Amino acid sequence: MKLKKQVTVCGAAIFCVAVFSLYLMLDRVQHDPTRHQSGGNFPRSQISVLQNRIEQLEQLLEENHEIISHIKDSVLELTAHAEGQPALPQHPLNGSWVLPPENRPSFLSVSPQDCQFALGGKGQSPDLQMLAVYSLLPFDNQDGGVWKQGFDITYEPNEWDTEPLQVFVVPHSHNDPGWIKTFDKYYYDQTQHILNSMVLKMQEDPRRRFIWSEISFFSKWWDNISAQKRAAVRRLVGNGQLEMVTGGWVMADEANSHYFAMIDQLIEGHQWLEKNIGVTPRSGWAVDPFGYSSTMPYLLKRSNLTAMLIQRVHYAIKKHFAATQNLEFMWRQTWDPDTSTDILCHMMPFYSYDVPHTCGPDPKICCQFDFKRLPGGRINCPWKVPPRAITDANVAERAQLLLDQYRKKSKLYRSKVLLVPLGDDFRYDKPQEWDAQFLNYQRIFDFLNSRPDLHVQAQFGTLSDYFDALYKKVGIVPGMRPPGFPVLTGDFFSYADREDHYWTGYFTSRPFYKSLDRVLEAHLRGAEILYSLALAHSRRAGADGRYPLSDYALLTNARRNLGLFQHHDAIAGTAKEAVAVDYGVRLLQSLTNLKRVIINAAHYLVLGDKDTYRHDPAAPFLGMDETRSSQDSLPERTVVKLGTSPRFLVVFNPLEQERLSVVPVLVDSPHVRVLSEEGQPLPSQLSAVWSSATDAVPNVYQVSVLARLPALGLRVLQLHKALDGHATPRSSTRLYLHGRDVPVRKPEALPLHVFPAAADDFCLENQHLQACFLGRTGLLQSLRPAGEEQAHRVSSEFLVYGTRTSKDKSGAYLFLPDGEAKPYAPKDPPVVRVMEGPLYSEVASYYQHVQTVVRLYNVPGVEGLSLDVSCLVDIRDHINKELALRFSTDIESDDTFFTDLNGFQIQPRRYQRKLPLQANFYPMPAMAYIQDMQSRLTLLTAQALGVSSLHSGQLEVILDRRLMQDDNRGLGQGLKDNKRTCNRFRLLLERRAVGSSSGFFSKLVSMFKALSFPGTRTGSPEVQDERPISFPSLLSHITSVHQNAEALVMPVALEKPALPALRSFVPLATTLPCDFHILNLRTLQAEDDSLPSAEAALILHRKGFDCSLEAKNLGFNCTTSQGKLALGGLFQGLELGSLQPTSLTLMYPLGTASNSTNIHLDPMEIATFRIRLG
């Protein structure tokens, strides 16, 4: 009791000091006679005075923040000795479950400087902002003549007299790691022959050049060639004939991929190149992804690449940029206050990356210079004019014809240096094609270069040869901004290649595998971190001889399989059915292997006596939490069998923050108690497990435990068979049959009430939130946050899109709906099941094609602040239909909504009425939201899907699509291999702090805005500022990582009492600032690449966040530190032997390794450190 009083006193002290300090601060600033209220038009003499005032204010805020930190640390020390278990639930007479308030206080202490970032205001405006470009363009698709989607290009013959045209023809072969054939079949049929011929043919003439992108293929080939051939490859790379471009494991999809996986496949490729060839990529090459995210230029820039190329951009944007000579630009991040994220980007101007669409505007002419299509070959020119071999007799005429195309193409760019790609899918697979292309082009080049009157210099080149020549021509260092080149911000979604054919279907295609991708990603991150920690601890204890180092090969294999799946025909869902199965088999194999890696690491780390550690692959110490019987089946959770002896569980929290989570475990008896490692009872709930709407699974029960899990740590729990009187609190269930005559199999030992009719409307609530549902459908109707009198309309409904009756129909790539969605109308009304319990309550609605469960956690902290929504979808009997879930609200969002890019950043969107419905869908890998002045509704997702807001106050997501035909983009199949797929979401409603009752703090925010943007509207939503930038709240970020990194439950396999002593593993000695995310702790390979080295890559991301949304009751201590972090004492029981900042993919050291272990990160930045733990 005495301790609680101390805690209360200290808490009150914090509040008083904070309020008093801020009051004094405001008083000093606002009563300053030198500060005029003149809307920001200050005389010059007073600007310096204002700057001094701002600096004083910042200093006061800093001092205030430090005072709070000191008091908070004292309170934490006091509470650290208090009982750390959450309190047990109580069940009062009125029937609602109540959790007593937490006996550990939680803090939200955000430095005001950290709020400044989201307000922005620094830096220059870009020349090209993609949201503004979309608003500007008419999208009228006028016929441009020979360049159908462009315009007629003219030039004066003497334009190059003073500065000759410099042409670089870049031979390339685009190799898809799986599409029509599997990765292995492509390799054996084509890729190995391309690379074998390359080594041979490139050595015949030193003027020849070639570029290669996909390291997944290259590494497989490397493993199968002789030392002599490897030496030849190194020579070709060394002398500049062969360039490795981008250097990722694959050419990644940029719509559906998550930034963890994008970075991981880039590291895997770059590490392979450095180790085997000793080369670091300089330029990015992405000719085939179906639209481009602004995340990729950031990742390439931080990997030290200086330039990049893109191709699949909406034809109207290409035309506009060509007409204004903006096809080359510096691509900058929207949130970048200076130029540190700028990277030069070259956009190809025409329809495709094949030869007919790369030499110039007229494909009929360009096709005549694709010498693989010479008469007698297997492919020809659709324009009916074949190529002709170049001879002395025709070289003058042929060279002039080609030069005309080169000149016309060069008119679309600002410099007199021209890039002309020469290649296509799986080109150069036969020696004859190498001869046909290289010999004929060399004859043309020799002729052009021998004629000074033509003012042209033409040659083969690599991508970097082109960029180097461009930089040399303008006289600046590679990586800098060429004079006059525009700065662009934004992204290039959504893509259309012709007419109204928008590639927005692939944002959802094959959602089963999009979901499996994220499950594997979460396991890979967890396995990497736990393996690195276990290895470091075992080395420190001298036990690494007994630790299974062979697990490193399993990690490498999983990195490569996850990397392979980031390919733009894999995660996109646009490969043949057999290829999708091949990817699935690889993903599942790696998932199983990673569970093994996690189990082995957890086994070592929880042992009280490490000397008792024995690795036995045949009899693992821990069991798996779930298994999957095949690559296309949903997981089946492990049932723990209870006996006379206690069963132990080890729970892994992959988050870098402590979390208070409801941990579900399946058991074979309703008589169960859950205790902490010390034997204290934990809050828990017993529920039935259902195999269908009305069938409870016999002899299986779910016990859900509320447990506090250490950051990145392992918590030991005990399951005991309970005696009467000590059993776990039980949930009760109401089943509404809606007039349907269906048999009911009741759960044993749990109360179930069956109602033949439909329910009346009803609500569920916890201490944060009330959610109300429509009785006859079981679907959400409204949300009311605690403390608000009025509920917000948040209603959900299912809808169905059809496809067109015309020739062009929806397929794996394209979304071509037959109009607006129609309401989903199943033949039977739903069975609705309502379950209420102490830790969570849920509503399950069973429809014919979708089963939806909305769960409300009755727990303090993050999990209780949002709704958990899952949809189990099965549309295998649909024909040409797409199922959508729409939320309709009273939020006045107008035409604006926000979607994330790769889980890394937020991109504002605008519903464009001038474009067709399908053009307004965007990728949603992690979240989307709508907002107005009062509130924000965020839909957070555990898998990538397509999303839009078609009307004010709406958000809708496409759950699955079943399409019976090909959409004429080369696949040759529809989408008919649908699976039962579980889509998981969180729905978060947040209030804006500005304008709410917290007037004091809103006064502070308003004052900051007045100082930052004199003369702007305060409190206006971001998109109404002319700054196209927005950020999630801290709560939204944390909810997202909770959803994507679930706690893993591993039962100790031994059921005997003779267990070694187990103790929880707490790896972090201090709490990480809650805007920091440990993206990875990746053990690096040794010389033998199947074994680990003593070094690891620590990759950190500091998140940008919006402070204007209220953040209360987070349930853990959330502080920010202005980007400062002391890594030296972060890992408990381990020393940081060395710390070297590097480029993102570890190719370049940044600065010298210093003795200091204190680091600083700016908001949004990702930084990699090469560290040695031991």
> Catalytic residue positions?
288
Compute how many other C-beta atoms are within 10 angstroms of the C-beta atom of residue 906.
24
In 3D space, the residue among 194, 961, 928 whose CA is nearest the CA of residue 506 turns out to be 961
Written as one letter, the residue type at 1092 is P
Cβ contact 110:1120 at 8 Å = yes
- For residues 151 and 737, what is the distance between their CA atoms, to the nearest angstrom? 64
Q: What sign for the dihedral angle of Cα 604, 608, 614, 620?
A: negative
Cβ contact 532:1173 at 8 Å = yes
In sequence order, the 6+-apart residues with CB closer than 8 A to the CB of 180 are 575, 576, 579, 970, 971, 972
Distance, first Cα to last Cα, the chain: 42
Length of the chain: 1174
Packing angle of the helix pair 999-1012, 2-30 (nearest 10 deg): 40
- If DSSP codes are grouped into helix, strand and coil, which group holds residue 1138? strand
Cβ contact 862:1114 at 8 Å = yes
| Residue 623 Cα to chain centre, angstroms | 30
Instruction: State the DSSP code for 256.
Output: S
Written as one letter, the residue type at 1081 is L
- If DSSP codes are grouped into helix, strand and coil, which group holds residue 439? helix
- The token pair at 155 is 């030039």
In sequence order, the 6+-apart residues with CB closer than 8 A to the CB of 432 are none
Query: Dihedrals φ, ψ of 49, to 5°?
Result: -60, -45
Cβ contact 245:283 at 8 Å = yes
Instruction: State the DSSP code for 496.
Output: B
Residue owning tokens 């917000």: 792
- For residues 828 and 251, what is the distance between their CA atoms, to the nearest angstrom? 46
- For residues 225 and 219, what is the distance between their CA atoms, to the nearest angstrom? 10
- The token pair at 890 is 């009273």
Cβ contact 356:405 at 8 Å = no
In sequence order, the 6+-apart residues with CB closer than 8 A to the CB of 728 are 672, 673, 674, 684, 685, 686, 703, 722
| Residue 1002 Cα to chain centre, angstroms | 32
- For residues 325 and 86, what is the distance between their CA atoms, to the nearest angstrom? 63
- For residues 1030 and 1011, what is the distance between their CA atoms, to the nearest angstrom? 20
Query: Dihedrals φ, ψ of 353, to 5°?
Result: -95, 5
The pairing of strands 954-962 and 945-948 is antiparallel
For residue 494, whether the previous peptide bond is cis, meaning omega lies within 30 degrees of 0, is yes
Cβ contact 290:971 at 8 Å = no
